[in-house]
Homo-oligomer: A and B are copies of this chain.
């Protein structure tokens, strides 16, 4: 395929950026991990930042697709809310490196993340809208829909991160084993807070 090298670079970049963070990641290291020459990265990307931004957008877009796929067939607001949160948790558990990357940078400070944080806010507002729909059609009873959306996003994300740091990020089975406890806790929150009539 045409973009064979680009794929190699992307894969290596997720690893390195996730392990080291943006600043500590060295282009040399990414090039070596990708098995290409340093110049090859610069042939395909304008700069370290360009590569990074490309990666974040790619990651967020994968997450969004993952969530949307899980939303198919969920028609009530409560089904939709659960589908989103479930997909969110599962995606992050399955893609630990990407999860670290997305969440670290979601809360970081740099100019470079402005655009990215806007997209995260947008992602959260989708949750918000589902909650608002539920309120409007009488499924839910919630005062601060936006705050709740953020709370769910935060609770789910931080729980996964906490597990990632507690376990070895590369041991998929161990991480997967944690999913039920996480989802069960989130389900409790949703079931009760969202006072179903």
Complex contacts, A157 vs chain B, CB 8 Å: 154, 158
Interface: A88 (CB within 8 A): no
**Given contacts A147-B182, A185-B144, A189-B193, are A21 and B108 in contact (CB under 8 A)?**
yes
Interface residue from B23, B182, B184 paired with A23 (Cβ < 8 Å): B23
**Given contacts A107-B107, A108-B21, A109-B19, are A154 and B165 in contact (CB under 8 A)?**
no
**Given contacts A23-B21, A184-B144, A193-B192, are A107 and B151 in contact (CB under 8 A)?**
no
Chain A at the B interface: SS class: helix
Contact yes or no, A161 B107, CB < 8 A: yes
Contact yes or no, B100 A104, CB < 8 A: no
* Residue tally, chain A, CB below 8 Å to B: 45
Contact yes or no, B155 A151, CB < 8 A: yes
A102 to chain B, nearest CB (A): 11
Residue interface mask A105-120, B partner, CB < 8 A = 1: 0011110000001000
Report which A residues bind B (CB closer than 8 A).
18-24, 100, 103-104, 107-110, 117, 121, 124, 143-144, 147-148, 150-159, 161-162, 165-166, 181-182, 184-186, 188-189, 192-193, 195
